[in-house]
Amino acid sequence: MDIHTNIPIKNLTTMKIGGNARFMTEIHTPEEIETVYKNAKKQSLPIFVIGGGSNVIAKDEGYSGIIVRIRIPGFEVIADDLNSTTIRIGAGENWDSVVKRTVDMGLSGIESMSGIPGTAGAGPVQNMGAYGQEIADTLQSLSVFDSQTGIFILLTNDDCKFSYRNSIFRDSAKGRYVIASIVLKLSKNQPQPPFYEALQKYFDEHNIKLFTQKVVRDAVLDLRNIKLPDPTNLPNSGSFFKNAIVEAWQTADLKKIDPNIPLYDMGDGKFKVPTGWLIENVGLKGQLLHGIRIYDKNALVLVNESAASYADLAKARDEIVRQVISKFHIQIEQEPLEI
């Protein structure tokens, strides 16, 4: 295992911002996780785990510990019956390659999450989701290294306490577990309507009536190409803010502020408000703030056009948050975690 020193973290993230990491190493087997944690403990070095860096923002002061980049491979069918196939996937596998492989196998359950950058192992961290599917729907279990006890354990779906873009890995157990592999149970049935609103609209517009996993994947990739900037050309972290969740009692006031505000009933007394709509309706879509462009095709995405530092990004973010609070009295929340 090679240990690299003084590595610019911006080269490890898709936002391309931030200072240097004192150390960085890449891990290709679960056993290497144990080794790196043992050695880091001896030297009292903190550890930050990273996959593709598409949901991580690095600060300007850098990181004084060791960044551990997960590269563990693996794609193995571990159970198969009439209706489903269960697959164990190494945490370092590229997520979209995994989706493509399962779609080619005629399996359903993750096809709507086509095109999401990053690794399979990071998926459960924020309960990755898109177009009506989230990883919690198909995740059976995970093999994780518990940095508190120093042993590998199996976590079940219930253990992860998944909710909208959240899990224990971002919350109560933040930084505790390193995910080595995930197990997904996928269906052999064809995808069935009703589909997520934007996907159904796409099918209607293209007169698509026969739904296979590949049809859904191709539609999602097409939709994403239109709405999301490619981080290899335009550095970004996808949705920079989570969608806002408001209580039922707030909806009347919100409608008074703007009768057209979209409110999606989540069925639990709470309503989802698309944060992109809020940002657009304070007039910030397409604007450039401190070198950060609020993407003109999707105001939820912040593109690093010419920001010199994390400080610039923070100034742009705080300005957006302030304007949304000022008009709608809603506190919007950043999605990518910070190192």
What is the binding site for ligand FAD (CB under 6 A)?
Answer: 14, 49-56, 70, 91, 116-119, 121-123, 125-126, 128-130, 169, 178-179, 228, 231, 236-238, 337
Distance CA 276, CA 291 (A): 19
- Residue 335 bears catalytic tag: yes
Tokens of 259: 């009768």
Closer Cβ to ligand FAD, 106 or 175, answer by number: 175
Q: Is 338 a catalytic residue?
A: no
User: Shortest distance, CB of residue 84 to ligand FAD, whole angstroms?
Assistant: 23
What Rg, from alpha-carbon coordinates, does the chain have?
Answer: 21
Distance in Å, CB of 275 to ligand FAD, minimum: 14
Residues 6+ apart with CB under 8 A from 325: 331
145 contacts 114 by C-beta, under 8 angstroms: no
239 catalytic, yes or no? yes
Annotated catalytic residue, options 32, 34, 239, 293: 239
Closest approach of Cβ 123 to ligand FAD, in Å? 5
Q: How far is the CB of 3 from ligand FAD (least distance, A)?
A: 19
DSSP 8-state code for residue 250: G
Rounded Cα distance, 338 and 252, in Å: 35
Nearer to ligand FAD among residue 37 and residue 328 (C-beta): 37
**Residue number with CB closer to ligand FAD (254 or 279):** 279
φ, ψ of residue 171 in degrees (nearest 5): -125, -105
Give me the catalytic one of 69, 88, 165, 293. Answer: 165
Least distance from ligand FAD to the Cβ atom of residue 20, Å: 17
Query: Alpha-carbon distance 339 to 337, whole Å?
Result: 7
Angle 177-48-10 from CA coordinates, rounded to 5°: 140
Q: 288-296: long-range contacts (C-beta < 8 A, 24 or more apart)?
A: 289/315, 289/316, 289/319, 289/320, 290/315, 290/316, 290/319, 291/316, 292/316, 292/317, 294/320, 295/229, 295/236
Q: Residue 260, exposed/middle/buried by CB under 10 A (0-12, 13-18, 19+)?
A: exposed
What tokens appear for 17 in the block? 């911002």
* Residue 103: burial class (beta carbons within 10 Å; 0-12, 13-18, 19+): buried
Please, what is the minimum distance in Å from the beta carbon of residue 129 to ligand FAD?
5
Please count the other Cβ atoms lying within 10 Å of the Cβ belonging to residue 178: 25
Q: Please list the active-site residues.
A: 165, 239, 335
